[in-house]
A = this chain, B = another copy of it.
Amino acid sequence: MSHSYEHPRPALAVDCVVFGLDENGLQVLLVERGVAPFKGRTALPGGFVRLDETLEEAARRELEEETGLGAKVFLEQLYTFGDLHRDPRERVVSVAYYALVKLSDHRVRAATDASAAAWFRLGDKPQLPFDHEQILRVAKARLQAKVRYQPLGFELLPPRFTLAQLQSLYEAVLEKPVDKRNFRKKILSMELLEETGEREEGVSHRAARLYRFDRKRYVALEKAGVNFEL
């Protein structure tokens, strides 16, 4: 079926930069393209926006289809890329989103071939087609800026985590070491963490306390205009 319009219009797509974290640091989720152009190449997940869905819905749908990621991941609009020749087929404008997920929940590496999605370390990924390198750069910059004044970090960790895990998350994102005592002081003083009373298990040394992110309190503090600068 064909659709016609009085004036020509660009195609509209969404692309997603999904960040995750594990022991090896910050990772990004990429998929193998199943269709031309760049068929077989590794790229950001994304696709065209349908008429009956908002931009964010389109981004979530593509994530679900291409990577199996659930509907409740943290997702935020990043920037809209509209250079004339960013897509070799025709004029395509892409609204980019970035997402943060707990990598432990989403071990898609060696995924079902249906999805063909895999995690890559930032320093260790293939060259990306289209303008996806640029999109990824912008996303990383945004993540680094944002983590300073919003406790996004919690989106990247499992529901219960140790302070050491949280600290290495910050170190991975900011790409620099952080003082342990100062970090703990600061993060605990925000009163966003709730002690679960539980301990880490299966380690051959003193077991760390497990914390949980207090989302209710976060929402309350945010409304009150509190600053979460690291």
Contacts and interface: CB of A to CB of B under 8 A. Distances in A.
Interface in A1-59: 1-12, 48-56
Given A3-B4, A5-B2, A79-B77, A84 B12 contact: no
B8 A93 contact: no
A10 B49 contact: yes
A91 interface: yes
A8 B2 CA distance: 8
A55 B82 contact: yes
Residue among A79, A80, A84 facing the most chain B CB atoms (10 A cut-off): A80
A206 to B, nearest CB: 39
Contacts of A83: 54
A56 B50 CA distance: 24
Contact of A52 (B1, B5, B53, B84): B84
A157 interface: no
A223 to B, nearest CB: 14
6 contacts: A3-B4, A4-B4, A9-B10, A54-B82, A54-B83, A55-B80
Given A3-B6, A9-B9, A77-B79, 15 more contacts: A2-B6, A3-B4, A3-B5, A5-B5, A7-B48, A8-B50, A9-B49, A10-B12, A10-B49, A12-B12, A12-B93, A51-B91, A52-B84, A55-B80, A82-B95
